[in-house]
Amino acid sequence: MLEGLVCWKCGARLDDVPQPLSRRAECPACRAELHVCRLCRHYDPAKARQCREPLAEAVKDKTRANFCDWFQPRPGAYAAPAPSAGARAELNALFGGDASVPGEPDATRRALDDLFGGNKD
């Protein structure tokens, strides 16, 4: 049993999934296929075929079950998606205004001093 094995798609723990993973294995939480490149220890997006195993056959869809004989599940394969610009816009609409931080600290300090009447030059 591989410790710390989680679904590549949703991050759910896979402790109850029989090992070794069969080609038809699915995540109990999101039903994603598990015998996929994205869950393999050889998966590397920085490589040309996204695989560190030079003898493995090329797999077109890295998120679909395949018959690769080199497949070895990788603990910690889940990577939470980064928030998108659309999500930022939704937050701004919900809470009002732009949540960006001013780029010039001196301008921020001057605005605070003007507001609270401190540090008159």
User: Each residue of 36-85: pLDDT tens digit?
Assistant: 999 999 999 999 899 999 999 999 999 999 999 999 999 988 887 777 77
The SS3 call for residue 33 is strand
Instruction: Give the count of beta carbons closer than 10 Å to the beta carbon of residue 47.
Output: 12
Question: In whole angstroms, what is the distance from residue 38 CA to residue 74 CA?
Answer: 9
Continuous segment of H or E residues that includes residue 116: helix 105-116
Q: Answer whether residue 50 is part of any domain.
A: yes
What local confidence, expressed as pLDDT, does residue 86 receive?
78
Yes or no: say if 64 and 8 are a contact pair by the CB < 8 Å rule.
no
- Tell me which residue range forms the domain holding 49: 1-78
Residues 64, 98: one domain? Answer: no
- Model pTM score: 0.66
Cα diameter, the chain: 73
Residues 68, 26: one domain? Answer: yes
Question: In whole angstroms, what is the distance from residue 117 CA to residue 54 CA?
Answer: 67
